[in-house]
Amino acid sequence: MFQALKRIVRRHAPALLRERISLWRQRGPLALGQGSHVHRSVQILGRRHVWIGENSGLSERCWLNVNHPLPGGYAITIGDHAFIGRDNFMSSGRSIRIGHYCLTTLGCKFICSTHIADIRNSPIVTTGTTGEDEIRVGDNCFFGVNAMVLGNVEIGHGCVIGAGALVTSDVPPFSLVVGNPARVLKRYSFQRDAWIAVDAMQAGDLDDNPDASTYLARLRSTHPQVDMPWVALAADLGSL
């Protein structure tokens, strides 16, 4: 019996150890909300300055890079019930704020810090990075494949950012944007319960649209809990 137990331990100990390391990496100094998951392949530089809400997920091969830690605060925050897709990249200047209920797909990027390029007598890798810009994303926004947000940008609540879009300026709430550079193609009208082309909008179409706090309160009321598609976090979680 003792020999059988030793064989079981030898067989399963490496997997158990990897699991314990994975749990430590998730819980480490990282502020991780209840029920949230960070895949073991995710790299976070500046873990103490990243906050992730409840029931949220970071998919495989994401990279979160805190360039300028905030004393006593968080440089990158991701809200509750948010799903960050595979191969996403976040590089913070002053801060990056991703709202509650947001969904990003493959290869999305949020970049508000870049290497300082005006010190030409030094290697670029030594010159440091910019730290003035912020990216702020409202609640329940969706980002299509390879969408990118660049610079000092605020995206309002309820927006849809199309695949491959390059967002370099502010986007009003309930907008659908496409293209490079991104442009607002449609706005959602709660009064008409439909997406309306910008050039077809009429006076009053946006009058019933909720503000940010009202919209979040509605989401939390109708969807206090979300069944997240955890299997989509990584290939090693299998197929359906």
* Whole-Å CA distances, 66 to 57, 93, 124, 172: 18, 8, 18, 27
Distance CA 134, CA 117 (A): 19
The dihedral sign for the CA sequence 66, 76, 78, 180: negative
Selected catalytic residue, list 12, 49, 100, 115: 115
DSSP code of 70?
Answer: P
Rounded to whole angstroms, how far apart are CA atoms 207 and 52? 33
* β partners of residue 176: 160, 186
Whether 81 is catalytic: no
Are 202 and 211 contacting, i.e. CB atoms less than 8 angstroms apart?
no
Task: Provide the annotated active-site residues.
Answer: 115
